[in-house]
A and B are shown apart, each in its own frame.
Chain A
Amino acid sequence: MDLPGPIHDFLLVFLGSGLILGGLGVVLRINPIYSAFSLGLVLVCISLFYILTNYHFVATAKLLIYVGAINVLILFVVMFMNSSEYYKDFNPWTIGNGLTSLVCTSILVSLISTILDTSWYGIIWTTRSNQIIEQDLIGNSQQIGIHLATDFFLPFEFISIILLVALIGAIDVTLQ
């Protein structure tokens, strides 16, 4: 979407803060139903990110599949479990937790410093110069359709077989 600059930045900051809070909410909340709702919030924020980068088809597909199907499935599984046992032996800080958080934070800090140090715009300007102008007139959904029907036809068929096998397998496992 070609929004003016300040609206774009404001939406980015808004969605980014939703993402940060939701990510912390999934990991740190005690009640698993609240963490499932935080997961829904994170997935909605990610879908709105995709609308900001002009990919409407992938944004809608993510909203439908992730929030509509996978999040609902996870909520069903959470509510199926008995939740009275979670408050008994909740030990929030063991040695393993501290070690993991230390390692994760150090790798995250090194990755962020690498991202901020790389000169991305030097790489972008050298590869963007041979973009054909007609490419911009085709919409996002048509581009995906063209790719899936010509270049990626075989992976498309394999994906449908994978989905079928997963469906049959999930039903077969739970019917015992």
Chain B
Amino acid sequence: MMLEHVLVLSAYLFFTDIYGLITSRNMVRALMCLELILNAVNINFVTFYDLFDSRQLEGNIFSIFAIVIVAAEASIGSAIVSLIYRKKKSTCINQSTFLTK
């Protein structure tokens, strides 16, 4: 009972944040939804590691690596968002359509 409930919750979180990532006008909200997508996947990892044979699965370690990668990506994403805001003075996500200027 517990496994299915946790899997359903993580699937719900995943799809809610995919919806938020696709339809958000704001760059920072897209970053936030991206964090939650990766978190939902981490919940799945640890739930399966909890209930299966823990000698051969290493979902625990992989979730730690995923946390570290998310931290690195969040820092670089925020740096890029601040740089874009500094140049364009607005955070609308469909304003920068070209790579130059």
A residues near B (Cβ < 8 Å) are 8, 12, 16, 19-20, 23-24, 26-27, 32, 35-36, 39, 42-43, 46, 49-50, 53-55, 58, 61-62, 65-66, 69-70, 73-74, 76-78, 80-82, 85-86, 96-97, 100-101, 104-105, 107-108, 111-112, 115-116, 120, 123-124, 127-128, 130-132, 135, 140, 143-144, 147-148, 151-152, 155, 159, 162-163, 166-167, 169-171, 173-174, 176
Contacts and interface: CB of A to CB of B under 8 A. Distances in A.
B79 interface: yes
Identify whether the interface residues of B are mostly helix, strand, loop, or mixed.
Answer: helix
Identify whether the interface residues of A are mostly helix, strand, loop, or mixed.
Answer: helix
Interface of B: 2-9, 11-13, 15-20, 22-24, 26, 28-29, 31-33, 35-36, 39, 42-43, 46-47, 50-55, 58, 60-61, 63-65, 67-76, 78-83, 85, 89-91
A62 B67 contact: yes
Nearest to A124: B51
Given A46-B43, A152-B61, 4 more contacts: A27-B19, A101-B23, A112-B11, A163-B68
Given A104-B18, A147-B61, A159-B65, A97 B85 contact: no
A120 B6 CA distance: 13
Contacts of A130: 53, 55
13 contacts: A19-B9, A36-B28, A42-B39, A46-B42, A77-B28, A77-B82, A81-B91, A86-B26, A130-B53, A140-B60, A143-B54, A147-B58, A148-B64
A69 B89 CA distance: 26
A61 B64 contact: yes
A100 B55 CA distance: 41
Contact of A73 (B19, B33, B78): B78
Contacts of B76: 166, 169-170, 173
